[in-house]
Homo-oligomer: A and B are copies of this chain.
């Protein structure tokens, strides 16, 4: 249980289907943060969107950083699930694309974490080591998936080059939003598709198109 937050009897991350005030706050926060960025949403707005007063928001989340930490905790759980989802058939042409799609869906739902560069760790510095650790764990899981694709003959790449490719895919996956937001003020489905195509393109030179069987 996180420090500085009220404890509740029931579990769940409370982001889908809000069942109480705390859950409602988290759901509304995520929506506002996704739309405008972590640094451009005030606690007053979150309270208003949640249908409560600021004092009550303070009761549930004494600090804005605690709110961000709670959202990150929910993301953390989902990220590890998505990263560890090994394709049934790593040789299938659509396997890696489906894996990437899983990541993009998750990132899109929690895009507030990614849209403003390092804003999250500046608002909630306690998250810095957790961000680092989560990246290490999920990248290791992703590497396992790509190595399976190499063994299945679907991907042709040397082990050290694979490490750099994964790092580049990580950077583009995580920062295409910032890149697009420098020119406009909001993200659309078209931006999402653009980002997906950019990441796909990173893998293109290493994909083996002909089935090796």
A64 to B72, CA, bound (A): 32
**Contact partner of A168 among B170, B201, B206, CB < 8 A?**
B201
Nearest-CB distance from A188 to chain B (Å)? 16
Interface-central residue, A115, A131, A205, by most chain B CB under 10 Å: A205
B117, B121, B167, B171: the one within 8 Å of A118 (CB): B117
- Assess the A168–B198 pair: CB atoms within 8 A: yes
* 0 or 1 for each of A12-45: is its CB under 8 Å from B? (1 = yes): 0000000000000000000000000101100000
Q: What distance in Å separates the Cβ of A68 from its nearest Cβ neighbour in chain B?
A: 14
State the oligomeric state as a number of copies. Answer: 2
Min CB–CB distance A115 → chain B (angstroms) = 8
Contacts A128-B183, A131-B182, A183-B135 hold; do A198 and B122 have CB atoms under 8 A apart?
A: no
A174 within 8 A of B: yes
Contact call A201/B165, Cβ cutoff below 8 A: yes
Query: In this assembly, does A8 line the interface, its C-beta being within 8 Å of a C-beta of chain B?
Result: no
Q: A116-B117, A118-B116 are in contact. Are A132 and B182 (CB under 8 A)?
A: yes
* In the complex, per-residue mask of A188-209: 1 if CB is within 8 Å of any chain B CB, else 0: 0000000001100110111000
Compute how far the CA of A179 lies from the CA of B122 in the bound complex, rounded to whole angstroms. Answer: 13
A147 CB to nearest chain B CB (Å): 18
A40 touches B172 (CB 8 A): no
With A116-B117, A117-B116 known to touch, is A171 a contact of B167 (CB < 8 Å)? Answer: no
Interface of chain A residues 104 through 146 with chain B (CB within 8 A): 115-119, 121-122, 128, 131-132, 135
Min distance, Cβ A205 to any Cβ of chain B, angstroms? 3
Q: Return chain B residues, CB-CB under 8 Å to A60.
A: none
Chain B residue nearest to A179 (CB atoms) is: B171
- The contact of A205 among B176, B179, B206, by CB within 8 Å, is B206
A117-B119, A165-B201, A168-B168 known, 14 other contacts, Cβ within 8 Å: A37-B118, A37-B122, A115-B117, A116-B117, A116-B118, A117-B117, A121-B182, A128-B182, A164-B201, A168-B198, A168-B201, A174-B175, A178-B178, A205-B205
